[in-house]
Structure 1
Amino acid sequence: MRMTVLASGSKGNSAVISSSRTRVLVDAGLSCRELMKRMVLAGEDPAALDAILITHEHQDHVAGLGVLARKLGVPVYLTEPTHRAWVRMLTPRTTMSYAQWLDHVQREKEARAHAASAVSADAEPGLCDSMSAAVESSSSSPDSAEPEEQELEAAQKPSAKADPTYLPAVEYFRSGSQFSIGDIEITPFTIPHDAADPCGFVFASEGVRMAVATDLGYMPPNVKTALKRIDVLLLESNHDLEMLKDGPYPWSVKQRVLSRVGHLSNLATAEFLERDYDGAAAYIVLGHLSESNNAPELARLSAEQALMNHPTLLGNRILLAEQTAPLAPISL
């Protein structure tokens, strides 16, 4: 199996998980053009992708989803709540000023008055007969009306190209229920994050297990259990607590990041590695590092210090996923 992290951070996330026969893109948080560019740079053929798998609907995980899926013609796997949230996010929302609302109310009143006058006119002698004749005349030659109706229906139906929510194929899965894409078995697990139905994943094929666990506010028991016996682990180490507190984010954003549905700090990641990590992985990739509230050397140092408390874990290799360039493929 192979893991290729194309990008990781608040500006976009994406990785390719592949076996000898199957290739899956996990998240599409960059533009279609940039995703394909980075795949080529990393030695991954975009045309060889079998599917796109989505963790959750935040923009840094789905920015290029629709365009890429349509361009490659591949199915998209995600949960139904995530799909619904993504569609809502892309559906235009209209706002109405008070003046526009008053105008709207006035037009409704005029329409009701017009309808009422039409109803009273129906009672006039001879009008019903003429209307009936018109109806009979139109119904006697239905074929003449069909082309116009069909053209109108065709014009009202948005084309796939014009609809930003159109996907070639959609496959739903549920957290905790294992499914397969090709020869890769995938086990999704629920993560605590402020999205509709966010998931992490364990991938298994050919005796190798890989996992993606980012965008989670803390490490609940189900996540700790899911991350046992993993050979390659992509794990969040988002921020340094002091840098976040003193950093440029508004207080409301800082509260979100620090919350139990926000992001893992270097300290929280280190506590997991020290207390709950089983040491099985050959590689630990630290991902989703904040450019404003973290430093790569701080994230690495925190993780290495946590592993030093366990002499049997010193063989682990710590790698740092980047925002601006793909990480070299990890193959086992």
Structure 2
Amino acid sequence: MRYCSLGSGSRGNATLIEYGTTRLLVDCGFSLRATEQRLARAGLSAHQLTAILVTHEHSDHISGVERLAQRYSLPVYMTAGTRHGMGSTDLPVRLIRFGEDIDIGDIRVTPVPVPHDAREPSQFIFDSGYHRLGVLTDTGSITPLITEMYSELDALLLEANYDPHMLASGPYPRFLQARVGGALGHLSNQQAAGLLASMDTRRLQQVVIAHISEKNNRPELARQAVSSALDGWSGQLQLAAQNQGLPWQEITETTQPTIACIGSR
């Protein structure tokens, strides 16, 4: 399994996951043209995509979904709440239900409910049968379910959106500071670090810091906080940027099938 970011931040988000002949695009917060350009930079055409999964209806995650799906006849998966939050659209949607895994090609997708100020937001875990990749952004707080579901991963793309001191002294008005820093907002550097500190990281090969705020954070602050929770860890820590994204990252195959897929492949 491999994955890359086409861009991550408040001006647009899109993540690619690939295993076998299956290529999934998580969110599409860029224009059609920009998405095609970013896909080309990753060595792909939109014709090669299998499906689009949508985490929630905020514009930095959905602004390009409808045009991309219609242009290339791609199925789109999202929750009923996200579909309602998108408003008027002719886009045919395949509904996601929490508690039910989805098999899309060679990848099993587990939707995870998260606290965020959207109608029915979801994040995802991707399982090839030999790899487990977690994507966790746009989450205001870490719930016990998140801690449970995001255990025993091989790779994790994790939001570290803001530094609390920068948010409090930054340009955002008070109401927006409260929204970002609230229980339905985004994860701070320290919250991201707290999740990692609570995890068993012996299997974890890679951590990618994502959705870093350009106004309320700095990459070095996010990296420092996350690194402090990974003391003694021998894996790879990287950042997904707004403009450059992150190049393809390969997850090394484990020697045993993942528990979730034993007997199901």
TM-score norm. by structure 2 comes to: 0.92
Does the 8 Å CA contact 1:279/1:316 hold for their aligned counterparts? no
Any gaps of 5 or more consecutive residues in structure 2?
252-265
CA distance in 2, matches of 1:181, 1:326: 24
> 1:319 — aligned with what?
238
Would you say 1:173 and 2:96 are equivalent positions?
yes
Following superposition, the deviation at residue 269 of structure 1 comes to 1.0
Whether the 8 Å CA contact 1:42–1:326 is kept in 2: the answer is no
Q: How far 1:176 moved relative to its partner?
A: 2.1
> 1:267 is paired with a residue of what secondary structure?
helix
- The one-character-per-residue Cα deviations of 1:218-268 (angstroms, maximum 9, x if unpaired) are 110111111111111010100011000000001000000111000000011
Is 1:34 paired with 2:38? Answer: no
* 1:210 corresponding residue in structure 2: 133
Residues 74 and 204 of structure 1: CA distance in aligned 2, closer, same or farther (over 3 Å): same
Report runs of 4+ in structure 1 exceeding 4 Å deviation.
none
Distance apart, 1:206 and its partner CA? 4.2
Q: Secondary structure at the match of 2:217?
A: coil
Aligned runs of 1:222-233 on 2, under 5 Å? 222-233=145-156
Deviation at 1:166, TM superposition (A): 1.9
CA 203–54 in structure 1, closer or farther in 2 if over 3 Å, else same:
same
Letter in 1 for 2:90: Y
- Find out whether 1:192 has 2:115 as its counterpart: yes
1:217 CA drift (Å) = 0.7
Say if 2:152 and 2:200, in contact at 8 Å, map to a contact too: no
| Counterparts of 2:144 and 2:110, CA distance in 1 | 16
Tell me, what secondary structure is at the counterpart of 2:246? Answer: coil
Q: Tell me the residue number matched to 1:302.
A: 225
Residue in 1 that maps onto 2:177: 254
Measure the CA separation in 1 of the matches of 2:197 and 2:78: 32
What is residue 118 of structure 1 aligned with on the other side? none
Q: 1:288 aligns to what?
A: 211
Kept in 2, the 8 Å contact 1:213–1:234? The answer is yes
Indicate the residue corresponding to 2:249 in structure 1: 330
Paired-residue identity, %: 41
Measure, in 2, the Cα distance between the counterparts of 1:52 and 1:186: 12
Provide Cα deviations, 1:271-319, integer angstroms capped at 9, x if missing partner. 22223353422110000000000000110111111111xx3xx212111
Shift of residue 177 of structure 1?
Answer: 1.1
* Of 25-34 and 274-283, the range deviating more from structure 2: 274-283
Q: Which residue of 2 aligns with 1:245?
A: 168
What amino acid is the match of 1:320? L
CA distance in structure 2 between the partners assigned to 1:186 and 1:329 by the alignment? 20
What is the aligned-residue RMSD (CA, Å)?
1.1
Tell me the distance in 2 between the aligned counterparts of 1:7 and 1:211: 17
Cα distance between partner residues in 1 of 2:79 and 2:198: 31
The separation in 2 between residues aligned to 1:199 and 1:179, in whole angstroms, is: 13
> What is the one-letter code of the residue matched to 2:137?
T
CA contact (8 A) 1:228 1:280 kept: no
- Return the letter of the residue paired with 2:215: S
Match of 1:69 in 2: 69
Unaligned runs of 5+ in 1: 92-164
Q: 1:294 to 1:46 in 2, by over 3 A?
A: same
Q: Whose helix fraction is larger, Structure 1's or Structure 2's?
A: 1
Partner residue in 2 for 1:4: 4
- 1:201 is matched with 124
Scaled by the length of structure 1, what TM-score is found?
A: 0.74
Measured in 2, the distance between the counterparts of 1:276 and 1:47 equals 37
Q: Which has the higher strand share?
A: 2
CA–CA distance in structure 1, aligned partners of residues 198 and 105 of structure 2: 35
